[in-house]
């Protein structure tokens, strides 16, 4: 089933950001952080933070032209589902807002009266009252909540029907009634997010290049060291991922003959999802599923059918993340019953809306694979990797040791570590670039990131999904953990270790006990 493309219209949410220095200068600044804020006019804005201030103090100010965003799906045709019970890791401020109406009112004023609202059945307790557990929400309750809010003057801008969640604009006069409504679980003013990773645009990458792409000669194909490190080649006799389905949620991809030719109907989110101007998505796709042919490299799961790979782009052409599109991508994964979702986005805010979508997606039987941060901040949770049920992936070097220390060629990037990290994968890689070429991401661009590490884990899950089609994704993830390099034990930097593609496809030994079912003292 194809992803449904979100329509564009004059009623779309738009962004118009004022940039502190020239576009080219911004694009080439790798060590920067972006902050997402909502302007007084109620439109998404992204502003560069202090890392650019010193170099741009005297630079002329330039304004970005307005761009269309993917519009909310028409509410009348939005898919509304029964949402199962789930775990939702709410941030502390949600409980504070529930207890302090003045604090919530003030936060809503700061957000331009824009908020994410979660719905519930009228007789159910709220998530805060159930200590992070969400009761099932019927589609009838979601529909009734939307109709009630709309009838009372609350503007429902976007509905995430797979998680009983909506983006709304709340008139000040309706705040009290909405907060106490029996169909409303929580209200979260639209949060501020700081992206902890910055995509590499193709034109900016040229100025960052410290080496050159490698062209295959003699019609030979390379099996990269990073694919061998997760022992994928030893698994290919058993599985190449031919029955796996996966969504890449991030920068989008672009065509390359060594990568799967993804159908246009599988490309959604921001414009040009499968003709992106960023390298990151292709790096991930090459690691995941570069084809077993005579050129370039081969990926971890080279047999995933192109028709089973879905791409959802949440970054615009300037590298700005669109949170509404991010949430829409998670919601689409729920609608598509996507077994594996590979997220190429890291930020530092625990958000109730994101937690609700993540909880609903996992309760729907999916698994989310996400990178931890690239700045080696121990035990500091970044998201979505920081959610307990997300497979958070850290980075390792070529020798299998942690990439948490300084690495030649990686600049300031080094892998985050912490007790919340369950697995690790290569922090840099040989992977697809253009037709007939491949990149050593570290040697060519100085690009080292756990975005790449996470793609290796997603590939192993694709192999295992094909081998164990009747297993739950949670069961497959647990099996990959227990068969990783640390043999079932964990460390702070590597968790269970590096996944082992071959071991992950071996069926656990089943012990059958025959004879008496009960032993009695003194019996014969």
Residues 85 and 34 in one domain: no
| pLDDT higher than threshold 90 for residue 12 | no
Residue 320: per-residue pLDDT? 85
Residues 242 and 185 in one domain: no
Q: Which residue has the higher pLDDT, 213 or 105?
A: 105
Residues 356 and 438 in one domain: yes
Residue 369: per-residue pLDDT? 99
Mean pLDDT of 506-518: 61
Tokens of 49: 């933070």
Q: Which residue has the higher pLDDT, 511 or 276?
A: 276
Residue 375: per-residue pLDDT? 82
Residues 107 and 54 in one domain: no
Any domain includes 201: no
d(CA 201, CA 214): 19
Residues 300 and 171 in one domain: no
CATH of the domain at 140: 3.30.70
Residue 251: per-residue pLDDT? 94
Confidence of residue 101 (pLDDT cuts 50, 70, 90): confident
Residue-wise pLDDT for 444-495, tens only, equals 878 899 999 999 999 999 999 999 999 999 999 999 999 999 988 898 889 9
Any domain includes 204: no
Residue 212: per-residue pLDDT? 54
Residues 122 and 259 in one domain: no
Residues 292 and 334 in one domain: yes
Q: Token pair 């991401």 is at which residue?
A: 441
Around Cβ 234, how many Cβ atoms within 10 Å?
A: 14
Any domain includes 262: yes
Any domain includes 6: no
Residues 352 and 448 in one domain: yes
Residue 165: per-residue pLDDT? 98
How many domains would you assign to the chain? Answer: 3
| pLDDT higher than threshold 60 for residue 21 | no
CB 181 within 8 A of CB 148: yes
Q: Which residue has the higher pLDDT, 445 or 237?
A: 237
Residue-wise pLDDT for 291-338, tens only, equals 998 888 999 999 999 999 999 999 988 888 888 899 999 999 999 999
Residues 144 and 251 in one domain: no
Q: Which residues contact 516 (CB under 8 A, 6 or more apart)?
A: none
Residues 296 and 168 in one domain: no
| pLDDT higher than threshold 70 for residue 67 | no
Residue 45: per-residue pLDDT? 28
Confidence of residue 435 (pLDDT cuts 50, 70, 90): low
- Quote the domain boundaries for residue 109: 80-190
Q: Which residues contact 240 (CB under 8 A, 6 or more apart)?
A: 292, 301, 302, 303, 304, 463, 466
Q: Which residue has the higher pLDDT, 72 or 243?
A: 243
**Dihedral angle computed from the Cα positions of residues 278, 68, 16 and 52, in that order, rounded to the nearest 10 degrees:** -10
Residues 85 and 62 in one domain: no
| pLDDT higher than threshold 50 for residue 229 | yes
Any domain includes 112: yes
Residues 253 and 295 in one domain: yes
Which domain-ending residue is among 190, 221, 243?
A: 190
Which domain-ending residue is among 69, 88, 115?
A: 69
Pairing of strands 391-396, 423-426: parallel
Give phi and psi for 268, each to the nearest 5: -150, 180
Mean pLDDT of 28-40: 29
Any domain includes 521: no
Q: What ranges in 372-449 are assigned the alpha helix state H?
A: 441-445
Exposed, middle or buried by CB within 10 Å (0-12, 13-18, 19+), for 471?
middle
Residue 465: per-residue pLDDT? 98
CATH of the domain at 260: 3.40.50.200
- Specify which of 13-17, 217-221, 388-392 reaches the highest per-range mean pLDDT: 388-392
d(CA 200, CA 448): 11
- Please provide the average confidence, as pLDDT, over all residues in the chain: 81
């Amino acid at each position: 089933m194809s992803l449904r493309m979100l329509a564009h219209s004059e009623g779309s949410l738009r962004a118009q950001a004022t940039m502190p220095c020239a576009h080219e200068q911004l694009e080439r600044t790798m060590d920067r952080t972006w902050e997402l804020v909502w302007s007084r006019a109620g439109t998404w804005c992204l502003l560069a933070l202090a890392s650019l201030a010193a170099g741009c103090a005297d630079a002329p100010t330039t304004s970005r032209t307005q761009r269309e965003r993917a519009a909310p799906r028409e509410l009348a045709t939005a898919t509304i589902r029964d949402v199962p019970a789930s775990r939702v890791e709410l941030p502390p401020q949600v409980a504070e807002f529930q207890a302090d109406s003045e604090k919530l009112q003030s936060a809503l004023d700061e957000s331009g009266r824009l908020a994410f609202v979660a719905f519930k059945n009228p007789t159910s307790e709220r998530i805060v009252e159930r200590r992070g557990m969400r009761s099932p929400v019927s589609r009838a309750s979601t529909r009734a909540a939307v109709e009630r809010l709309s009838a009372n003057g609350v503007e429902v801008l976007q509905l995430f029907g797979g998680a009983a969640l909506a983006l709304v604009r709340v008139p000040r006069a309706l705040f009290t009634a909405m907060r106490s409504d029996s169909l409303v679980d929580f209200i979260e003013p639209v949060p501020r997010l700081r992206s902890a990773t910055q995509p590499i645009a193709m034109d900016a990458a040229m100025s960052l290049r410290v080496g050159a792409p490698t062209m295959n000669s003699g019609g030979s194909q390379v099996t990269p060291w990073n694919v061998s490190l997760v022992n994928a080649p030893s698994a290919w006799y058993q599985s190449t991922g031919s029955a796996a389905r996966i969504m890449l949620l991030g920068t989008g991809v672009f065509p390359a003959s060594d990568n799967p030719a993804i159908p246009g109907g599988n490309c959604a989110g921001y414009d040009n999802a499968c003709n992106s101007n960023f390298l990151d998505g292709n790096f991930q796709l090459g690691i995941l599923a570069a084809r077993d042919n005579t050129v370039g490299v081969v990926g971890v799961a080279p047999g995933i059918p192109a028709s089973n790979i879905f791409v959802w782009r949440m970054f615009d052409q300037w590298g700005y993340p669109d949170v509404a599109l991010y949430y829409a991508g998670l919601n689409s994964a729920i609608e598509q019953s996507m077994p594996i979702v590979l997220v190429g986005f890291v930020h530092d805010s625990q958000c109730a809306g994101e937690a609700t979508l993540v909880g609903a997606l996992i309760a729907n039987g999916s698994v989310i694979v996400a990178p931890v941060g690239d700045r080696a901040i121990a035990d500091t949770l970044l998201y979505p990797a920081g959610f307990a049920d997300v497979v958070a992936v850290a980075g390792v070097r070529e020798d299998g040791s942690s990439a948490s220390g300084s690495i030649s060629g990686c600049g300031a990037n080094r892998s985050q570590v912490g007790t919340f990290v369950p697995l690790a994968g290569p922090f840099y890689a040989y992977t697809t670039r253009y037709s007939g070429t491949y990149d050593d991401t570290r040697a060519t661009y100085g690009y080292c990131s756990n975005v790449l590490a996470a793609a290796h884990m997603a590939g192993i899950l694709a192999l295992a999904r094909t081998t164990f089609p009747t297993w739950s994704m949670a069961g497959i993830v647990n099996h990959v953990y227990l068969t990783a390099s640390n043999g079932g034990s964990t460390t702070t930097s590597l968790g269970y270790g590096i996944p082992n593609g071959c071991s992950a496809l071996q069926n656990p030994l089943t012990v059958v006990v025959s004879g008496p079912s009960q032993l009695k003292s003194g019996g014969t």
